[in-house]
Amino acid sequence: MPLETVAVIGAGAWGTALAQAAVGAGRDTTLYARRSAVVEEINTLHTNEAHLPGRRLDSALKAAETFAPADIVILAVPAQMTRTALEAIAPDALAGVPVILTAKGLEKGTLLRQSSVLLDMAPDAIPYVLSGPSFAEDVAAGRPTAVTLAGDGASETSALAAALASTALRPYAADDRIGVEIAGALKNVYALACGAVEGAGLGASARAGLIARGYAELARIVAALGGSATTLTGLAGLGDLTLSCTSIQSRNYRFGVRLGQGESSEAILASGASLAEGVATAPVAAALADEAAVDAPLIGAVNDLLTAKADISTIVTGLMTRPLKRED
């Protein structure tokens, strides 16, 4: 299968960064945007100031509004927009095509992972999942970034990883799509929690404890849903969790800081804050954990904070006074 042309759907920060990386890997790459002004800016000025201010894009990167088939399709839209984006593409155009899903979230209402949404809309597409510790600005700038690319078929996944690899982006091939997707989605919820800990001034010790217990909770959920524990020791698990739960560059972490400072989720959203996938994912994750009969007190706590069911002081007291148990 040829892997020379790449179509990146979604010209936000992440989609633009991945398109830039694909060009750097030697692929003939087209970035698809909804707005003609963005297309014109990328094609003429080689910038996308709205999403990557001050970042010059490779002149070989092309932009367009209307999708055309490619050897590799990268879907880089928010998790709750995946279905809408796929509705604009004829399923036949994706038949037999590797489609790389990059959104880290679960679909509201259906509780579906991103690959399941893809197969619901385009049953003959070949789903892959890209995840790991990666900020758009780092990837766009060509800073060294390592990620996980998960899919069925070891040789096919390795070939796809090789097609996208460069001196700046290093994809590691894996076969646990379930674990990679669940870890990527749920780490956003734990990042909200860690941000709230910082915002409330609860200290570095509390944040470290939260990361560790979040990892244990995540492991229980991944195992219950058929994922592999090994995945969590890698880039898509520990790597992504650590980055998102400690860096103010993380949108979810920043959102959590404001929650911890006493702002309501409604007020933060109304202020025009950058999209934090964990806000939509938290209730879905809670429902998924319930469905799998997994105890997930941290996800429940984030939901309580987002819905103003309890303030952070009450939530922390509740967590700290849970019945004592052996560490799992």
How sure is the predictor about 58, in pLDDT bands with cuts at 50, 70 and 90?
very high
pLDDT, average across residues 51-59: 98
Tell me whether residue 325 is annotated as binding.
Answer: no
pLDDT at 1 over 80: no
Look at residue 328 in the predicted model and tell me its pLDDT. 78
Tell me whether residue 140 is annotated as binding.
Answer: no
Instruction: Reduce the DSSP state of residue 47 to 3 states and report it.
Output: coil
Residue 144's Cβ-side half-sphere holds a number of Cα atoms within 13 Å equal to: 1
Tell me whether residue 54 is annotated as binding.
Answer: no
At position 39, the amino acid (one-letter code) is V
pLDDT at 278 over 80: yes
Mean pLDDT, the chain, whole residue set: 97
Q: How many angstroms separate the CA atoms of 288 and 47, rounded?
A: 40
Just list the catalytic residues. Answer: 187
Tell me whether residue 132 is annotated as binding.
Answer: yes
Residues in the chain: 328
Look at residue 274 in the predicted model and tell me its pLDDT. 84
At position 247, the amino acid (one-letter code) is S
Tell me whether residue 35 is annotated as binding.
Answer: yes
Q: How many angstroms separate the CA atoms of 2 and 18, rounded?
A: 19
Instruction: List the alpha helices (DSSP H) in the chain.
Output: 13-24, 36-44, 82-87, 114-121, 136-140, 154-164, 177-199, 204-224, 229-232, 240-244, 251-260, 265-270, 277-291, 297-306, 312-320
User: What percentage of the chain exceeds 90 in pLDDT?
Assistant: 98
At position 102, the amino acid (one-letter code) is T
pTM for the model: 0.96
